[in-house]
Amino acid sequence: MNRSVRSTLASGEEPLSDTASAARAAYPMTSKKLREEASVKTALVQLNPTVGDIRGNLQLVRDAVQQATRGGAELIVLSELVLSGYPPRDLLMREGFVAACDQAVAELAASLPTTVGVVLGHPTKRGVPHGRIANAASLISDGKIIETVHKSLLPNYDVFDERRYFRPADTVRPVEFRGHRLGIHICEDAWWGHPSTSYHDDPIAAPDPVATLAAAGVDVFVNLSASPFEKHKHNRRQELIQQHVAKYGRPFLFVNQVGGNDDLVFDGNSFGLNAAGQVCEQLGAFCSESRIVELPLADALPASSSAGPGVCKDEQEMLDALILGLRDYVRKCGFTDCVLGLSGGIDSALACYIAAEAVGPKQVHGIAMPSRYSSSHSVDDARQLAEALGIDYELIAIDAMHQAYEQTDVVGEDLLSQPGGLADQNLQARIRGAIVMTRSNRHGWMALATGNKSELAVGYCTLYGDMCGGFAVLSDIFKKDVYGISRYINDVREKREVIPQTTISKPPSAELAPDQLDQDTLPPYPILDGILERLIEREESVATVSKHFPAATVAWVAARLDRNEFKRRQMPPGIKLSSRAFGTGRRMPMAARFNIK
């Protein structure tokens, strides 16, 4: 839609765009009285699909349809690309994959009872010219595909890369179902013009799909999403949708995917708003769920209910995301158990708690591996944690292995020439990593790396040592959040001392050299985290950050951040919780030189 139309719509009028005019011509308006009197029981269904498991995802959909139908649902709305799972990435390029998704849609349509319609997301080749594919949503009913709409806005920022695969929609038009004109659109289509997207004030972007649907006279907006979790993302989504409702005076259904897929975790948090912008239904966070609303939406939930997950503390949301992300990564990769090193420090303690919640304490194997520099209280803290969680625990001292290296030619000379030096410290970490990986290889357990975002940012970690493993549980939370979540576990979630208080209160140390503390090498964590948050998540310059922190410290942190990109490129995947996580959403060069302050 052009700028003049956008401003006119903002003033309350609704001129028709070309696509909206075509839509109204194709779908004559149902009378207002009929639309208001006709009610359709609609199920909002958030599922946890597995990427690529088309048959398994189809069965999830069938089970959900059966359950919702038993509850009286006449229309069932599922999430974006639920048949393929999101994000399918380059599976979309594999021969036969999209065709198999199209076949699954046809099978589902043929098997549906005549009393119900289903709206679901899937990739498709049908109706897409030039051999391309589309990110689609289909309404199926009466044994056939009634209508298929394509996604208009294809995000190409942060973790999204949809222009690599999909062709955008040619038209945007309503879909009619039992007297209701549905404004079906897909995820990013609702974010046109939002400051966080690449479509903000972009004069060459596609027209605003929501505005086009509103101008075409829809009765209810229906958004199918696979919107990954970030801190406070649920609140931002709801505020965005409420703005649409306030602008166009139509109710709005939002259905989101749930579950972990690789480095992304999806929180669900689906909801329905009535025409007054009030929450009529709110689904849960980080769980598969189905709820039925009645179109046209009317009654709002009580204020305490409609607040929903937005009232949760940050620590609760982050912890729930970490647990679900790890659980699904382990399960979807075919593992049952996790193994990790327990140092007695706070990072491994929190990672161990998350693992115990994700896969069950009996499936978690913790290994304490003290060296000559390890303190007795660290070994005691590791044991106390294991006992509190009820996990499998063993102690393997590494000093004999350390000595064996010292007694070898050449390498031993290097180590003994600088005891407790950098090579010696890294060797201890690598001995521990080798032990964890040996246990992983022997028993088929998923090995967990336990480093946090603060350490990974400045390279305070060892390649092939504490960085080794199959999954980096804490890679997108700063040290301050590690402490905050650990306190939340003890004080709120468990209401008992699960993570030892001494682990929380003692100064952090790698214990790889005599009397070593983290802050012998690093700035105090509150300062380090504040600098990193501005450099990474806000992409501020050194000069800007130096207005808030000591300039020399900022310069040191920025140099370390850039210098250690090569380490992060080799770390295991982790769970994205922030707007700028290390991994697919942050693509920095390794061999680079950029010194502008």
Residues 338 and 272 in one domain: no
- Domain at 459, CATH number: 3.40.50.620
- Position 23 scores a pLDDT of 43
Listed range (312-316, 348-352, 447-451) with the worst mean pLDDT: 312-316
- Position 447 scores a pLDDT of 96
pLDDT digits (tens, 9 = 90+) for 482-528: 999 999 999 999 999 999 999 999 887 766 666 667 777 889 999 99
Residues 161 and 294 in one domain: yes
Specify if 217 maps to a domain: yes
- Nearest to 581, CA basis, from 537, 518, 520: 537
Q: Which helix (H) or strand (E) holds 584?
A: none
Domain boundary among 469, 496, 518: 518
Residues 200 and 293 in one domain: yes
Give the model's confidence band at 33: pLDDT under 50 very low, under 70 low, under 90 confident, else very high. Answer: very low
d(CA 506, CA 479): 14
Greater confidence, 373 or 268? Answer: 268
Give the model's confidence band at 201: pLDDT under 50 very low, under 70 low, under 90 confident, else very high. Answer: low
Listed range (29-33, 46-50, 556-560) with the worst mean pLDDT: 29-33
- Domain at 275, CATH number: 3.60.110.10
Residue 292 pLDDT exceeds 60: yes
- Position 270 scores a pLDDT of 95
Residues 284 and 325 in one domain: no
The two structure tokens encoding residue 71:
């509850």
Specify if 584 maps to a domain: no
> Is 80 in the active site?
yes
Specify if 569 maps to a domain: no
Residues 322 and 291 in one domain: no
Residue 204 pLDDT exceeds 60: no
Residues 258 and 390 in one domain: no
- Nearest to 261, CA basis, from 91, 400, 125, 404: 91
Residues 65 and 197 in one domain: yes
pLDDT > 90: what percent of the chain?
Answer: 62
Specify if 342 maps to a domain: yes
Give the model's confidence band at 191: pLDDT under 50 very low, under 70 low, under 90 confident, else very high. Answer: confident
Count of domains forming the chain: 2
Specify if 238 maps to a domain: yes
Residue 418 pLDDT exceeds 50: yes
Residues 369 and 470 in one domain: yes
Amino acid identity of residue 272, one-letter, is G
> Is 547 in the active site?
no
Specify if 307 maps to a domain: no
> Is 333 in the active site?
no
Residues 250 and 356 in one domain: no
Give the model's confidence band at 392: pLDDT under 50 very low, under 70 low, under 90 confident, else very high. Answer: very high
Average pLDDT over every residue of 2-20: 34
- Position 151 scores a pLDDT of 93
Domain boundary among 486, 518, 550: 518
Out of 101, 187, 461, 468, pick the active-site residue: 187
d(CA 284, CA 263): 21
Specify if 162 maps to a domain: yes
Give the model's confidence band at 24: pLDDT under 50 very low, under 70 low, under 90 confident, else very high. Answer: very low
Give the model's confidence band at 1: pLDDT under 50 very low, under 70 low, under 90 confident, else very high. Answer: very low
Residues 109 and 154 in one domain: yes
Q: Are 62 and 111 in contact (CB under 8 A)?
A: yes
Residue 273 pLDDT exceeds 60: yes
pLDDT averaged over every residue in the chain: 86
Out of 74, 80, 230, 511, pick the active-site residue: 80
Q: Are 257 and 46 in contact (CB under 8 A)?
A: yes
Residue 198 pLDDT exceeds 70: no
Q: What are the residues facing 138 on neighbouring strands?
A: 120, 148
Q: Supply the range of the domain harboring residue 238.
A: 38-298
Residues 282 and 151 in one domain: yes
Q: Are 449 and 279 in contact (CB under 8 A)?
A: no
- Position 203 scores a pLDDT of 52
Specify if 18 maps to a domain: no
- Position 31 scores a pLDDT of 45
The pairing of beta strand 252-256 with beta strand 144-150: unpaired
- Position 439 scores a pLDDT of 95
Out of 101, 147, 151, 176, pick the active-site residue: 151
377: Cβ–Cβ under 8 A, 6 or more apart, which residues? 344, 502, 506
Give the model's confidence band at 574: pLDDT under 50 very low, under 70 low, under 90 confident, else very high. Answer: very high
For the chain, state the CA radius of gyration.
27
pLDDT digits (tens, 9 = 90+) for 107-128: 999 998 888 999 999 999 988 8
Residues 351 and 462 in one domain: yes
Residue 415 pLDDT exceeds 90: no
d(CA 266, CA 320): 11
pLDDT digits (tens, 9 = 90+) for 77-100: 999 999 999 999 989 999 999 999
The two structure tokens encoding residue 203:
């004069």
Listed range (81-85, 207-211, 250-254) with the worst mean pLDDT: 207-211
Domain boundary among 243, 265, 298: 298
The two structure tokens encoding residue 255:
């259905």
Residue 585 pLDDT exceeds 90: no
Greater confidence, 8 or 502? Answer: 502
Average pLDDT over every residue of 178-190: 92
